[in-house]
């Protein structure tokens, strides 16, 4: 459950909003979680009503209508089009300055380790539940909690980072997720629902944090270049994580060691977030 890079609208949101930037990012990015929660039911209803071909037309029409609304709204926000007037020299200088800073690489490493922990959990979650005794239908129902938690994570984390130091918010979320993953490894099915919730909540937070941290630490001149590289790191780790956790499962014969491996990656991520400096005023 990974978003496509929200670079364009992420820049628009960071440019338009200042005081409530985190919440604005959370609201915008919660769309993927909403889609994951309600999309399957919408598509299933469309298939029942119009057949599978008709369902494609329904999805296309929905996308067209929503896309037109987005374009109209953004076109009326003058500050959202600020990218056309970017100072290229300032962008190059800010990018060089960012790459030379320890903060840039610390954020990248923290996001990389966070994604190494979470990415595989998302892909393997249903097999993990099957491994600890759930039936397929029950496992799918429990996994559905993740979609709801993703939406809540994006909204509440966005709200929180507007009021508290964002790296501390990240550490608190990681602590909750680590506890949930370890509890799932140790206690099994009895903690499956809360574990699903904290995993989904953490997934909802991570993309929010990338855009927010880039804007706060490095400003908007080189936002696209910096965010693109940070997000690429996130995607690489998200792709590697299922392979790593799957390999650990194959070697050990159960997902218990995979859960401990994911928790270890998140511990490293939390330690890296703890090293980030205060924001400049």
Q: Which of 74, 94, 107 is nearest to 220 (CA)?
A: 94
154 close to 26: Cβ distance less than 8 angstroms: yes
Please give the pLDDT value at position 141: 82
Total number of residues shown for the chain: 281
Q: What element of type H or E holds 8?
A: helix 7-16
Q: Strands, E, within the chain: which ranges? A: none
115 close to 206: Cβ distance less than 8 angstroms: yes
Q: Which of 244, 242, 262 is nearest to 198 (CA)?
A: 262
d(CA 54, CA 251): 45
Using one digit for the tens of pLDDT, what is the confidence trace for 175-192? 999 999 999 999 998 999
d(CA 98, CA 40): 41
Measured CA to CA in angstroms, residue 88 lies from 40, 173, 210, 223 at distances of 43, 37, 23, 12
Exposed (0-12), middle (13-18) or buried (19+): which is 44, by Cβ within 10 Å?
A: exposed
Please give the pLDDT value at position 21: 57
Tokens describing residue 242: 């299922």
CA angle 182, 125, 180 (to 5 degrees): 25
Sign of the Cα torsion 71, 60, 201, 271 reads negative
Q: For domain 87-273, give the CATH number.
A: 1.20.1250.20
Please give the pLDDT value at position 135: 86
Regions of the chain where pLDDT drops below 50: 1-2, 4-5, 82-83
Please give the pLDDT value at position 9: 58
77 close to 16: Cβ distance less than 8 angstroms: yes
Measured CA to CA in angstroms, residue 194 lies from 81, 199, 204 at distances of 42, 9, 15
Q: DSSP per residue over 57-125, as a string? A: HHHHHHHHHHHHHHHHHHHT-GGGGGGGG--HHHHHHHHHHHHTSHHHHHHHHHHHHHHHHHHHHHHHH
Please give the pLDDT value at position 1: 46
Please tell me the pTM assigned to this model. 0.77
Measured CA to CA in angstroms, residue 259 lies from 16, 61, 134, 148, 183 at distances of 40, 41, 17, 22, 9
Tokens describing residue 72: 């109209």
């Amino acid at each position: 459950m990974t978003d496509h890079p929200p670079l364009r609208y992420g820049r628009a949101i960071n440019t338009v909003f200042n005081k409530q930037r985190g919440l604005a990012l959370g609201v915008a990015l919660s769309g993927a979680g909403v889609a994951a929660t309600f999309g399957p039911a919408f598509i299933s209803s469309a298939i029942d009503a119009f057949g599978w071909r008709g369902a494609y037309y329904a999805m296309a029409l929905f996308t067209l209508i929503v896309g037109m609304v987005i374009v109209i709204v953004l076109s009326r926000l003058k500050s959202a089009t600020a990218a056309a007037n970017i100072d290229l020299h300032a962008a190059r200088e800010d990018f060089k300055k960012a790459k030379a800073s320890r903060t840039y690489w610390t954020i990248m490493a923290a996001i990389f380790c966070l994604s190494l922990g979470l990415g595989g959990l998302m892909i393997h979650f249903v097999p993990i539940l099957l491994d600890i005794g759930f039936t397929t239908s029950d496992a799918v129902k429990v996994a559905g909690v993740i979609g709801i938690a993703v939406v809540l994570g994006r909204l509440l984390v966005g709200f929180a980072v507007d009021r508290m130091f964002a790296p501390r918010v990240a550490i608190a979320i990681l602590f909750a997720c680590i506890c949930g993953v370890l509890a799932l490894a140790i206690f099994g099915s009895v903690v499956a629902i809360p574990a699903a919730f904290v995993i989904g909540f953490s997934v909802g937070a991570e993309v929010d944090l990338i855009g927010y941290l880039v804007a706060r630490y490095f400003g908007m001149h080189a936002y696209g270049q910096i965010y693109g590289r940070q997000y690429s790191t996130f995607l690489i780790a998200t792709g590697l994580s299922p392979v790593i956790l799957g390999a650990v499962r194959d070697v050990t014969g159960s997902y218990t060691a995979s859960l401990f491996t994911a928790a270890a990656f998140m511990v490293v991520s939390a330690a890296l977030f703890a090293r980030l400096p205060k924001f400049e005023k």
